Amino acid sequence: MDLSRIAALRATPVPPALHLIDGASCPASDGGTMTARSPIDGSALTTLARGTVADADAAVAAARRAFDDGRWSGLAPAERKRILLRWADLIEARALDLAVLGVRENGTEIAMALKAEPLSAAATIRYYAEALDKITGEIAATPPGTLGLVHREPAGVVAAIVPWNFPLMIGAWKLGPALAAGCSVVLKPAETAALTLLRIAELALEAGLPPGVLNVVTGEGPVVGAALAASMDVDVLVFTGSGATGRKLLEAAARSNLKRVYLELGGKSPNIVFADAPDLDEAAQVSAAGIFRNAGQVCIAGSRLLVERSVHDAFVEKLAAHAAALRVGDPLDPATGAGALNSEAQLARSLGFVDEARAQGRRIVTGGDRILAETGGYYMAPTVVADVRPDDRLAREEVFGPVLAVTPFDTEDEAIALANGTDYGLAAAVWTGNLGRAHRMVRRLRAGLVHVNTYGGSDLTVPLGGVKQSGNGHDKSLHAFDKYLDLKTAWIKL
């Protein structure tokens, strides 16, 4: 990594950010702004437009016009592909600049941010660009004298509300297939991670995406996000974030135009280690990364560790050693293993869970405290809490911070009962050398993604989505197109 470039970029002032509506940058309709703070040291980074309901409505109107006049939805697929591929190239060419800007705003360690943010976004956009002209309709097996055609058409105006942990990666998981399908989009970034999404939306214009096809409105969720959810002119709403917000979005859809709502709502993912795991050292190391990368702010984080009792103590010790050895600090230092939490509120929330566990008499094996407070940044020591009981809040609720809850088990059935015993169903992992057990566990675990003898690291070719209260619908893979394409039947008498 180019250290002098990183140093230069981190010292560059960030100009005030505006919305991007109908191809033009514009302030909030009432001129309102909000401060973007850097979690690296708590300093003010720049201001964002504090969007209004009028701004959200203007963006939806622009997206609607762009969709209805066919400037994008009506282009030849090969032309859409050419523009999206050019967009991916522009993002990739500016990867380090984008990564540093993103890290200054959200605190993710740079080595991970570079890969997981701009480079992953470029790869995602390319994947869907390359796929878009391979989508075909169907001819149904209808009786003689009839012809049944099944068309797949772009669904219309998509509103995408995304979170702050991986804005470009998650943003591209929505934007890639939505735009490739021919939809127009209004994107609402999180309050604390908007700058890189605005930047790539500008690059989309440079790549030739017609104005109005991709609009970005910044501001507060309960104002801008809520206006998009209540809009009568949004056809599809896609969301990644908390369950509490997901419920509000469903309610708003029901009260407005019954828009389709797809939710990715996080998890409390069980990481299950059997004594017969092929390599317990590797399991400890990968499991530590599975919870502590990006300071635990990962939807699929393996935040519950279930360990077979016979290896429990030794395994927890190994894992805690990895946690304690993780270098936490300045996220723009490429040697950093875990950066800052995204906001002061997220730090307070994470510490609150640990305080509660401590008060309940649970064992803090390592970590548990804020660190590097003198920097003004939001850092927390990777934390392992043992003897966590299934009913503890720490075992049931998503922390979204560097806190691992550990519970022992004795049998496969008990592991399944513990693993499936929360409201969530996003990810899980099983570590075992027994092939039969591995497949049994994959079938019995109620989760959208089950890892075997690894954690994290899947790629774009496979879908990601939750069951139970982790949500519905899928990002990634060709299945993601299902959200953005409508089926239309033509029944023809011959």
Active site residues: 264, 299
| Residue whose CB is less far from ligand ADP, 34 or 286 | 34
Residue pointed to by tokens 């701004």: 55
Question: How far apart are CB 48 and ligand ADP at their closest, in Å?
Answer: 11
Question: How far apart are CB 146 and ligand ADP at their closest, in Å?
Answer: 45
Question: How far apart are CB 249 and ligand ADP at their closest, in Å?
Answer: 6
| Residue whose CB is less far from ligand ADP, 21 or 224 | 224
Best CA proximity match to 268, nearest among 175, 392, 351: 392
Question: How far apart are CB 132 and ligand ADP at their closest, in Å?
Answer: 27
| Residue whose CB is less far from ligand ADP, 66 or 252 | 252
| Residue whose CB is less far from ligand ADP, 20 or 441 | 20
**Contacts by 139-144, CB closer than 8 A, 24 or more apart:** 140/489, 142/491
How far is Cα 261 from Cα 250, in angstroms, rounded to an integer?
A: 7
Residue pointed to by tokens 């709403």: 237
Q: Are the CB atoms for 378 and 342 separated by under 8 Å?
A: yes
| Residue whose CB is less far from ligand ADP, 298 or 384 | 298
- Residue 21 CA: distances (Å) to CA of 51, 56, 163, 188, 283: 11, 9, 20, 12, 47
Binding site for ligand ADP (CB under 6 A): 161-163, 188, 190-191, 221-222, 225-226, 229, 241-242, 245, 248
Q: Are the CB atoms for 173 and 460 separated by under 8 Å?
A: no
**Total count of residues recorded for the chain:** 494
Question: How far apart are CB 245 and ligand ADP at their closest, in Å?
Answer: 3
Instruction: List the 214-216 sheet strands across, edge first.
Output: 24-26, 19-21, 214-216, 184-188, 157-161, 236-240, 260-264
| Residue whose CB is less far from ligand ADP, 242 or 454 | 242
H or E stretch at 491? strand 485-493
Q: Compute the C-alpha angle 182/187/192, nearest 5°.
A: 155
Residue pointed to by tokens 């304690």: 324
| Residue whose CB is less far from ligand ADP, 225 or 270 | 225
Question: How far apart are CB 233 and ligand ADP at their closest, in Å?
Answer: 16
Dump the DSSP string for 142-160. PPTTEEEEEEEEE--EEEE
Question: How far apart are CB 297 and ligand ADP at their closest, in Å?
Answer: 8
Beta-carbon contacts of residue 99 (< 8 Å; ≥ 6 apart): 110, 113, 114, 117, 118
Tokens of 47: 């201001």
